Structure 1
Amino acid sequence: MYKIYPKTLFIGQIIQYLPSCQSTNDEASTLIAQNDPNEGLLVITDHQTAGRGQRGNQWEAKSGQNLTFSLILKPSFLTATEQFWLNMAISLGIYDALQPLVDDSLRIKWPNDIYVDDKKLGGILIENTLHGYSIAWSVIGLGLNVNQTEFGYSTATSLQNQSTLPHGYDLPGLLSRLCETLEQRYLQLLSGQRDTLKTNYLQTLYRYQEEHSFESAGQYFKGTIIGIDANGRLAINIDEQVRYFDFKEVSFS
């Protein structure tokens, strides 16, 4: 059970705790379909049996050792084409909470993973419901590896692996801090501070302005990430030509 008292206006003020569920995003979506839930409501579980990530990937997390939750927001001030701004705000909110616990190797991997060096610490899955041209509801699923130390993938890591505490990290305390930093970034977005958000996002972006290998449509190439466009597409400089890639059109290799 999670009892937290974040210093927030709305995020985390109401929590629905489930010892186990298939997907917190699905549970949050059901709440939206059934009634009009409060903005900032969290659905959190100790054990998610069918969690999912971008590209249909499964999310691996041992019961009671990590943070797995979904946040309900109502970003009606954003149009459908502006949804990546929410992605940036959420990513930065997570970064702000975790960076003091790790170090400068913490990065946001486009479009929405949290990395330490070349290992994944957490992931974000945002699912939006539209009303006309605006976003009526957003369900933001967050999975963060906290106290788990062994994974089935060599590319996964956790806070405990990166910065060990004798008795592990306090999950409710970390959740409370996340609520605060997520709300701060969300309010930045709400108040129109987009230049600040984009600048901060690029400053923390994984492999930004570094030449690395990528794959797209079965082709491998070297390029340098130079930014993102207004729709959230990744801009890569390839042989002195800039190409733009959508979420599922390019991967890091």
Structure 2
Amino acid sequence: MYKIYPKTLFAGQIIKYLPSCQSTNDEASDMIAREDPVEGTIVVTDNQTAGRGQRGNVWLAQAGQNLTFSLILKPVFLSATDQFWLNIAISLAIADTLQPLLGDELRVKWPNDIYVGDQKLGGILIENTLHGYTIAWSVVGMGINVNQIDFSYPTATSLQQQAPLPNGYDLPGLLSSYCEYIEQRYLQLRSGQRDVMKADYLRLLYRFQEAHRFESAGRVFTGIIEGIDPAGRLAIAEGGQIRHFGFKEVAFL
């Protein structure tokens, strides 16, 4: 049972705890379809059996060892073309929560992954409902590897692997801290402080201004990440030209 008392106005003030469910994003979306949930409501589970990741991947996690939750937001101040700014706010909030524990190795891998060095610590899946040209609802799903130490993929890692504690990490405590940071970053976004947020995001961006190999449309190339454009597309310099890639249009190798 998750009982948390974050020092927030709305984020995490209402918690729906499910011992097990297929997907917290699906549960949150069902709440939106059935009712008018309070902004900041969180759906959290100990055991997500069919979690979804980007590119149609499945998010697998050991029951009771990690943070798996979804946050309901109503970012009506954002237009449909500004959806990626919410991604930036969420990524920065996770970094704000975890960087004191992990240090400078923590990175945000565009578009939706949290990395420590070259290993994946967590992922974000944001699903928006539009009303005309604005975002009516956002379901922000997050999976963060916390106390799990055995993974089927060598590229996965956890807080306990990177910064071990004798008795592991307190999951409700981490969730409470995250709620406080997400509210701060969300209110920062709502107040229009985009330049500050973008600068913070670029400082955390995985492989920023480094030569790296990518694949796009079956072609492998070496490029340098120069940043992101207003639509959230990744800007990669190659051969003296900068190309912009949307979600699913380029992959890191």
The TM-score bracket by the shorter chain reads over 0.9
Taking the aligned partners of 1:192 and 1:217, their CA distance within structure 2 comes to 36
The answer for the alignment partner of 1:199 in structure 2 is 199
1:171 aligns with 2:171: yes
Aligned length: 253
- Measured against aligned partners, the alpha-carbon deviations of 1:94-151 in whole angstroms (never above 9, x if no partner) come to 0000000111000000001000000000000000000010000000000000000010
- 1:13-32 paired onto structure 2 within 5 Å: 13-32=13-32
- Measured against aligned partners, the alpha-carbon deviations of 1:165-223 in whole angstroms (never above 9, x if no partner) come to 00000111111000001111000000000001101000100000000100001110000
The answer for the alignment partner of 2:124 in structure 1 is 124
The answer for the alignment partner of 2:212 in structure 1 is 212
The answer for the alignment partner of 1:107 in structure 2 is 107
Taking the aligned partners of 2:57 and 2:130, their CA distance within structure 1 comes to 24
Percentage identity across aligned positions? Answer: 72
- 1:223-238 paired onto structure 2 within 5 Å: 223-238=223-238
The answer for the alignment partner of 2:68 in structure 1 is 68
The answer for the alignment partner of 2:58 in structure 1 is 58
The one-letter amino acid of 1:140's match is: V
Taking the aligned partners of 1:205 and 1:252, their CA distance within structure 2 comes to 13
Taking the aligned partners of 2:225 and 2:251, their CA distance within structure 1 comes to 12
SS of equivalent to 1:84: helix
1:145 aligns with 2:145: yes
TM-score, normalisation: structure 1: 1.00
Taking the aligned partners of 2:39 and 2:230, their CA distance within structure 1 comes to 26
Could you list the runs of 5+ residues in structure 2 that have no partner in the other structure? none
The one-letter amino acid of 2:110's match is: W
The answer for the alignment partner of 1:49 in structure 2 is 49
Taking the aligned partners of 1:177 and 1:76, their CA distance within structure 2 comes to 25
The one-letter amino acid of 1:124's match is: I
TM-score, normalisation: structure 2: 1.00
Could you list the runs of 5+ residues in structure 1 that have no partner in the other structure? none
The one-letter amino acid of 1:109's match is: K
The one-letter amino acid of 1:42's match is: I
Taking the aligned partners of 2:107 and 2:71, their CA distance within structure 1 comes to 22
Taking the aligned partners of 1:174 and 1:24, their CA distance within structure 2 comes to 18
Question: How many Å apart are 1:154 and its aligned residue?
Answer: 0.6
- Measured against aligned partners, the alpha-carbon deviations of 1:11-55 in whole angstroms (never above 9, x if no partner) come to 000000000000000000000000000000000000000001000
The answer for the alignment partner of 2:221 in structure 1 is 221
Structure 1 runs (4+) deviating above 6 angstroms are: none
- Measured against aligned partners, the alpha-carbon deviations of 1:56-106 in whole angstroms (never above 9, x if no partner) come to 100110000000000000000001000000000000000000000111000
SS of equivalent to 1:103: helix
